Structure 1
Amino acid sequence: MGEDAPVVADTTGPVTTVTLNRPERLNAISPAVVDAIDAALDGLTASTRVLVITGRGRAFSAGGDLEAVEAMARERGLGAGAGTEEFHAAISAVLRRLELLDFPVVAAVNGLAVAGGLEIACACDVVLAVESARFGDGHANYGLLPAGGGSVRLPRRLGVGRAKYLMYTGETVSAATMRDWGLVAELVGDGELAAATDRLTARLAAASRDGLGRMKTMVDRGLEMTVDDALAHEQKVAAEHVHAADYAEGLSAFRERRAPRFD
């Protein structure tokens, strides 16, 4: 993808970075952006161990580009409602696809993350954010509804009360508040996001891909189960992992007091 593309994907070793690239529109999510994220996921290879989502400019993403959605509907001869439904379905599907990747996905939030931007962050495993970033749902301000998974993921990440507060009021809150509420894992100074992201991704990329993938399955699937079923699922996945090459390498490294070397 060229530098003027709505999304730029760059792979360096085991880390792929997907950058929302519409800074003049605060990285608003258009149908073209959704298609480009989907294409970037199509382009991932087996060597990818970590995926980073970030934005160019002063925003992570200000949410859906409603003007672009309406333009798409007109170009395709769709009614406004039908065009919006298609857009909602597309963004919901691509964020679910992002969420189900079997390796860590990191949101590096460089600025404003509102509505669809917040929904992207909630679909990621780990969220880093600069101190100046602001987060909000925002749909209620215009009589709209979340349709990129916000009503599902936000309560799971923040708790029901805080999620409803953000959804009902349309307020934006600071990155520090989102850290206190549990969405943001690490808060960094403005200008330090790239270095902090590199440190985290280097650590994740050096870990066992199978191990982190199975951990992700344990947590994400476990949240959908009763406690007893989740415990049984944990035992099942752990039993499978003891036969993995990374498990054997980890034990050898522990015995030999060296760093493990995972393929």
Structure 2
Amino acid sequence: MTTDPMTTEQSILLEIADGVATITLNRPDRLNSFNDAMHEALRQAIATARGDASVRCLLLTGAGRGFCAGQDLSDRKMAPGSEGPDLGATIEANYNPLVRTLRTLPMPVVCAVNGVAAGAGANIALACDIVLAARSASFIQAFCKLGLIPDGGGTWSLPRLVGHARAMGLAMLGDKVPAEQAEAWGMIWKVVDDDRLMEEAGRLARHLATQPTHGLALTKQALNASSTNGLDAQLDLERDLQREAGRSRDYREGVAAFMEKRTPKFEGR
């Protein structure tokens, strides 16, 4: 199935083809920074992708020269002497649901970071399952420069990806992390030359869409739980999820294909 790119106020593009839903953040004049309308458009796009039975992988990227600069601060102008906006309400309504959705979406989520990923934009990328970055891309925890804390799950994901010391330094100093350094630190999966980023990300997403995606969703669930589970709880979870995986059509197809020495045809069920 292929759909024409759909837009909601042009801030989000969605294209579905070859089992992959490609979602593009599309406010390039604002470095794809988020406002409320863009959050709503992204929610709609993800819901459309999730509701389409042909979609077995989601690919997230940005238009123009940057992936996402986080929150559009022009939406947060404060009058002199005012108390200021309730940023907690914005997080509760927009960023927290988005991160939870990406982490729990029952399919692989690939992120192609095509330029700067700053603030919440960096942490949204890190909430995805497999992150590719252009060689010229960078990640910046810019919150400290505004007197804020990392949100978008940053205080959770950073120490788990790069360790406590590096997470603390990144959060308190706001240093730019070039893509190659992010790869070396284990923050992302792979660095790709700029002119090959979308080709490589598309190839990876299309490959994942042909795999036993029900089992991949269970793998994602297990790995995400491992950071807070003790060993006994994780072993029990592996037992339960493996029981479910063993009853899937994809498992039966995988075994049959192995025995018959042929390429399996997985359905994601």
Fold-level match, TM-score > 0.5? yes
Q: Does 1:232 align with 2:243?
A: no
Query: Any conservation in 1 of the 2:158–2:167 contact (CA below 8 Å)?
Result: yes
Retained in 1: the 8 A contact 2:18–2:206?
no
CA distance in 1: counterparts of 2:19 and 2:76, whole angstroms: 34
Query: 1:49: which partner in 2?
Result: 56
| 134-143 or 152-161, which deviates more | 152-161
Q: Which residue of 146, 163, 168 corresponds with 1:142?
A: 146
Aligned mates of 1:48, 1:80 — CA distance in 2 = 41
Aligned ranges 1:1-263 → 2 under 5 Å: 1-2=6-7, 5-44=10-49, 45-70=52-77, 80-82=84-86, 84-89=87-92, 90-263=94-267
Aligned length: 257
Q: Equivalents in 1 of 2:145, 2:199: separation in Å?
A: 35
How far 1:3 sits from its partner (Å)? Answer: 8.2
The Cα offsets for residues 146-198 of structure 1, whole Å up to 9 and x where unpaired, read as 23211112212222221111101011111000001112211111111111012
TM-score for the superposition, normalised by structure 2: 0.90
Whether the aligned pair in 2 keeps the contact of 1:30 and 1:69 (CA below 8 Å) is no
- Contiguous gaps of at least 5 residues in structure 2: 1-5
Superposed CA offset, 1:125-152 (max 9, x none): 0000010001110111121122321111
8 Å CA contact 1:98, 1:123 repeated in 2: yes
Deviation of 1:93 after TM superposition, in Å, equals 1.4
CA positional deviation for 1:67: 1.2
Root mean square deviation, CA, Å? 1.8
Cα displacement string for residues 82-113 of structure 1 (whole angstroms, at most 9, x for unaligned residues): 3x332221211122112110111011000001
Structure 1: how far apart are the matches of 2:17 and 2:232?
A: 41
Residues 233-255 of structure 1: CA deviation (Å, up to 9, x unaligned)? 11221122212111111001111
Q: Identity of aligned pairs, percent?
A: 36
Secondary structure in structure 1 of the residue aligned to 2:110: strand
Instruction: Give, in angstroms, the shift of residue 64 of structure 1.
Output: 0.9
Q: Matched residues in 1 for 2:129 and 2:241: separation?
A: 19
TM-score normalised to structure 1 length = 0.92
Once superposed, which parts of structure 1, at least 4 consecutive aligned residues long, lie more than 4 Å away?
none
Q: Given that residues 118 and 142 in structure 2 are in contact (C-alpha distance below 8 angstroms), is that contact kept between their aligned partners in structure 1?
A: yes
CA-CA distance at 1:79 after TM superposition: 6.6
Aligned with 2:111: secondary structure?
strand
Q: 5+ residue gaps in structure 1?
A: none
The aligned residue for residue 3 of structure 2 is: none
DSSP 3-state at the match of 1:92:
helix
Q: Secondary structure at the match of 1:233?
A: helix
**8 A Cα contact 2:222 2:237, kept in partner:** yes
Which stretch of the first structure deviates more once superposed, 105-114 or 238-247?
238-247
CA contact (8 A) 1:11 1:17 kept: yes
